[in-house]
Each structure stands twice: as C-alpha cells, then as structure tokens.
A and B are shown apart, each in its own frame.
Chain A
C-alpha cells in the first residue's frame, strides 16, 4: 500500500463544519454508551475513557507503555530505513543486479511484515530483541523497494550526462541516483513508520513485551473496556504524530520540487 495518494490524504483545513461533525460523532458515542445501545462491556463512555487516560498517564503507567512502544517503533524504523536504503542502493545501482533480483522482491512484497515473527521467535525467543528485529525487518521493505525504484527511474539523459562526465559508479549513486530517489525513499520511510508501529504492537502482544500492545491485550482479557479504549486512543495519537512529523520532514527535504 505505497500509494502516495494514501499518505497525503485529503488536503484540507479544519472548517467549523468539520469540527461540528466530529462533535456530533462524539455525541453519538456518548449516547450509545450511556443509552446502552452497545453494552458497556464493549463500549465505555467517553468520560470513562478520558478518566482511564488521565489516570494512566498521571501515574506514569500508560506513559511508560507509550514510551516503550514509541521507542520500539522508532528504533526499528531507523534501523529499517538505514538498512533498506543501503541494500536498496546496492541492488538498485546495478542494472544487472536489478534484473536478477527484482522478481524476487516483487514476490516478497505482498508478504505481511509480521509473518517472520514465528521464525524470529525460534531464533531469538520471546524477547524485546526479537520484536525489534522483526520490526526492522518488516519495515525495511518499503524503503528498500522505494530505493531500488528511485534508482532505476533515473532518466536515461542523466545517465548519459554521468557517462559523459565520466562519473564513477559510487559517485553516480551518491550524486545522482540517491538524490533522484529521495522523494521515493521519503515516501517509503513514511510507509515504513506505519509498518513499524503495527509490527511493534503485534510483537508486544505475542511476546508479552511491555508496551501499549500488551496493555490493550491485557485490558481486553480483563474486560476493562475504558483502559482498552484509552490505549487505542494513545496508539492513534502515536500514528498521527509520527505521520505528521514525517510529512514535515518530507516537506523540508523536497523544497526544490515545489519551484
């Protein structure tokens, strides 16, 4: 799901009407929970959720879980971006490498990132390191594929310029290939972040590692709906903030595109 359309979503501004719609939805939630259209076991009231949120954050418990998840996500994402760009550059720099390897990459693309978790468990056991390795491995692919594509899409004219100037292969990759691939790589890194969060949460659930993933799983098992919802809100917040920050970064790096 690497469509740039998805990432940029609906460019718009928050009008008063849209705020009103959101408020309506909140009101609907309030009604549904208070009037028991859905059992309180499944749907906590907004106030209960807020209370769990505030309490969890002030005692530091939820804050701690959030921090654990964020660190896992960020570390994995950084590793994935570095390795993905490096491997992608190696593969993408050579047309021969691309021809032989690209079909395998296409086959691996639709695999769920969490699919290597059983293998990782066998190798590393149920540990934080295991989760991190799967996060990094899973999140690596969008960046790797984006880098390969970005390098492959260098216009033939620029290749000829490089040949005419007698640029070495390394110089070509760093001065022409990678800059050309930068928009793709940044888009890939944004997708990577989404994958990182997902795999981090799944890993926490499976391997009982401290974090929001484990917290909401335990909350569900003990029928503590308000805590479950509080955790979901926090996960949504992480997703929102990380995406917004990356969008800002992308904006900065790609200034030359907007002239």
Chain B
C-alpha cells in the first residue's frame, strides 16, 4: 500500500461500471463481556483499532459507524451505548432505517462465546445472544449486503445466520472453546499492511479472512502447539462454511466483493460523475478488467507462452490506462 489514498479515484479490480454508483458501508462493532480487566481492555482496544481503520483508512463516515461496549467509560468516548441485547437490537434497527438498498453492513462481535444454547452464545452484559436472537435482526437488512463476523470462541453455530447476500465468518467451529487468536488477526487485516493482496487499496472480507487464517496458523506453528481453532466463512448461503474460501466460486465469491475502502469507498468516488472523459476511461478500464478476468479464467486451457504473452499485453494496457487515470485525477486536484 502506498500510504493513504487522497485521490478521488481508486483503481481497483472488478465491477467497474458499478463503481459509478454510490454504495455506502455501515459498521457495527459490539464488544462483549470481558470477564476480567485484561480481556475487557483487550476487547475494547481491538474494537477501537477496527473503528479507527474503518474511519481513517477506509473513509467510512463516523455517522455510519456504531460501537457498543461492555463498559462505556473504557471506550475512549467512542461507544454509543452499552452492548446489551436491547442496544444491539436498537443499533441494527437504526442502521436498517438509515441505509439504502444495495449498501453493505458489517457487524463484528468481539468478545467471549460459549456453547450454551442452540448454536452457542455471544457473551453480553445481561442476556447473551445466540444465532436465533440475531436472525430476526438481520432480517431487517434483507435489501443490503451483510457481513456478520463473530470473533469469539465456540462461534461456529452462528453459521446458521447464513443466507442470500450474507457473508458469515466465525472464528471457530462449533464447540471449540479455547480463546481464539482469529479476532486479533482479523482486525489487524484492516489496520495493518499486508491483507490487501489484490492492491485495490481496500480490504475485502475474503482478504481479511485469509490474512487472519494464515497468521493464526503461523502463530500456532511458531508456538509449536496444535491449532485449536478453525475459522469458517460462508457466503453461498448453505450454512456449512469453509476454512478455505475461494474468490472464484462457492464460498468466497461474495466475500471478495465485500470490500472496505477501495473502489467502494464512497469518499473516493467524488468527481467521477462530473468528468465524462474520466468516466469513459473508467469504463474502458472496466473492459480491460473483464478481459483480464476472462484470460485468467482461461489460463488452464492456454499454452503457457500464449497465456503469458496475452497477459503481459493486457497488463501493460491496464497499467497505461491506470497511469492516465491517475494523472488526470491528480491534475484535477
């Protein structure tokens, strides 16, 4: 990543025509009961780390971000309310009321889980919440793309929330009760370098999942201990989840398009609609991207030399066009 992205336009992969439409991102972070001072602080710190990345790195407006914490006084003035069941309900209801169809809503739970009840529970001050409690709340976001991430232990049961237009991520399988490392690395994917593997200057849920999964495995390897957590992602709606989602099809395809920042960062789209030539260039760029995706999909059927020749030519065209777009954009600043 080359620093922050002040430019109004970000060159990114995929869905270029859609880039011209304004799609908003909404974020709800819920940090649950810590149980002791150390965990309490860890969960708050991790939540704030995510909030800062969302706002500062990916340009999500503060008005689109809601934070609920176990203890408001520990949250550095960032928590809107306590993370009780009622407040969770209210926060989702509020987002549902304010967002537009086609927007994306990311809900992240940071805290402890338990295996109690059907599908497990996420520990909150007061009554805990299980998948059956979240299901009707998510039902209010049926017109939006929803990302639901439970970073707690024993969170696998929350895959029951899977459905059309939803990306559900759990830090563990159902029944894995050891405190997982996944949440730490999932948040790190948004706040640190390294997760933006396609260099679109945004981080998708797929990228963040793969980053966290890889770093969790590395951490266990370094410790020389057996891994006691297996994070899962489901976005094809079957509720089964997978540890190895793929961008191309099955679980992973939707998560790849659920991006914080990048082309969907609404703050970065300013100016595109007013510049016809820039729009034309972006449309051309979209065509190149489609050709690129097509070529990659055909890789297995092509001779290696043919593939590489075509690939290089296409990449050069993309690079030249991107350079021109950037130059035009910078000149307009």
Asked if chains A and B come from one complex, the reply is: no
Mark A residues whose CB is within 8 Å of B: none
Q: Which residues of B contact A (CB under 8 A)?
A: none
